[in-house]
Chain A
Amino acid sequence: MFELIGVPPQALFAQLLLGLINGAFYSLLSLGLAVIFGLMNVINFAHGAQYMMGAFCAWMLLNYLGVPYWGALVLSPLVIGLFGILLERVLISRLYDVDHLYGLLLTFGLALIIEGLFRKQYGSSGLPYANPIPGGANLGFMFLPWYRAWVVAFSLFVCLGTWFVVEKTQLGSYLRAATERPELVQAFGINVPRMITLTYGFGVGLAALGGVLAAPIYSVNPVMGANLIIVVFAVVVIGGMGSIMGSIVTGFGLGVIEGFTKVFYPEASNTVIFVIMAVVLMVRPQGLYGTPR
């Protein structure tokens, strides 16, 4: 077998796959954050907790109600999305008239409370969730587990589907217009407050979907979201706050860069994303795909 700069190709492709998997979660989560921030100007710090709730919801559906993975893939985002809608109606919507910093503080507090409650109930060691599609294919240069291939393909599909809806449909044009001038869009006869509520529910549902996809790969754990969300915020900053395509491309791109860093210079693999964030902030503060505000 050939070697690339002293690295066996198996290691390279294994890290590429791992990078794509991580990238899939970065994209799904940063996409939800981008949609929410774009329309509501709320930095949803509870996003990691909502991702974790998605995974737990799948685990509970399986262990308490016997609902298998494929059912949870639909049900969990719906349940957690509805929970998001409730949060928006009862709490977040009260803060639209004040600085967005308050929205950030509120959602940060909610994240801590939610994670604390789950830790108290389920401990922090993590609960197993069986892989629904075991096995894989030997591609010659690497082994490809079916489930991981599914996660990458399905996330990409959901991300591009969201991009299509926002950028190419009438519903998406309402969203984009309301991002610019909500009061005018409302004066055309569109119920903007309801659209905001549903958008928040959708963003939260995306986070929960990420959680369900993650459950069989990582163990289901109350802090799984807290660990991920910091990187996801870096992805959002690099991609550009509120940009849909920016979230998708930087999510997958940074996952892969992080994976390759593990091969070539493992010491930097945990910091490479933050180094990139710092460079992007210096050179292009609005982010790669952002427009200056």
Chain B
Amino acid sequence: MVEAQLAVRDLHGWYGESHVLHGMSFDVYAGEVVTLLGRNGAGKTSTMRAVMGMLPKRQGSVHFEGKELIRLKSDRIARQGLAYCPEERGIFASLNVRENLVLPPKVKDGGLSIEQIYVLFPNLKERGNSQGTKLSGGEQQMLAIARILRTGAKLLLLDEPTEGLAPVIVQQIGNTIRKLREQGFTILLVEQNFRFAGTVADRHYVVEHGKVVDMIPNSAIERNGEKLKSYLGV
């Protein structure tokens, strides 16, 4: 049996006194696109932040390519080859587009070159000298994804990349995710929109109250439509 690239077991996490993750367990295999689906506040973003070491207090096990990450600081975790694209995109206002793009340092060989990134996201090339936060929401999202492709990270954690974007931009992001999957990236995606998730992912974990409550392969997503709707409250 193949070992998962990312294996999360019984992951607990706290923000100060508040216990937000109650034993998350899931696997992501190399080359897969996997989503964490769930309502607002279910613990999806906290899971990503816990995997990246950004949650102040965490417990359990996060194995990446056979290495335990739970005790590492977030900069050491990133250096193992994981890269995070936050929900609010995290574009820096005091940096221009190009500086934002080249900000994350290379952690491994085999990242995309700037030219390859400009092929995927032609808009970013023209806007290189604009202030990062002067871009439209869609462009900022593209920039937030683009900048973690250079680093050589093999596992991308994308937190709601479609949030608040127009349908045509959502489609572009879907295309981008499929292209990245073809190029061999592994992607863990947080989504609330299971229709979008169904167009890009291989498997879906349903998250409720800081725990995984169900796993649905993408082939079964149509059959489980009613169940998903009740999970997501849509």
Contacts and interface: CB of A to CB of B under 8 A. Distances in A.
Interface stretch (B26-34, B89-97, B178-186, B216-224): B89-97
A292 to B, nearest CB: 12
Contacts of B209: none
B78 A187 contact: yes
Nearest to A179: B94
B94 A176 contact: yes
B75 A186 contact: yes
A189 B151 contact: yes
A93 to B, nearest CB: 14
Interface residues of B, number: 25
Interface residues of A, number: 18
Contacts of B151: 188-189
B104 A189 contact: yes
B75 A177 contact: no
Contacts, number: 58
A47 to B, nearest CB: 23
Contacts of A174: 103
Interface stretch (B58-66, B79-87, B111-119, B163-171): B79-87
Nearest to B99: A173
B105 interface: yes
B176 interface: no
Main SS class of interface, B:
loop
Contacts of B95: 173, 176-177
A177 B95 CA distance: 7
Nearest to A166: B94
Contacts of B25: none
A121 interface: no
Given A177-B94, A184-B90, A189 B105 contact: yes
Contacts of A228: none
B70 to A, nearest CB: 15
B92 A176 contact: yes
A192 B75 contact: yes
A186 B75 CA distance: 5
Contacts of B105: 188-190
A10 interface: no
Instruction: List the 10 closest A-B pairs by CB distance, nearest first.
Output: A189-B78, A188-B104, A176-B94, A187-B74, A173-B99, A177-B92, A184-B90, A186-B75, A186-B74, A189-B79
16 contacts: A176-B94, A177-B92, A177-B95, A180-B93, A183-B54, A185-B103, A186-B74, A187-B52, A187-B54, A187-B84, A188-B78, A188-B103, A188-B105, A189-B75, A189-B105, A189-B107
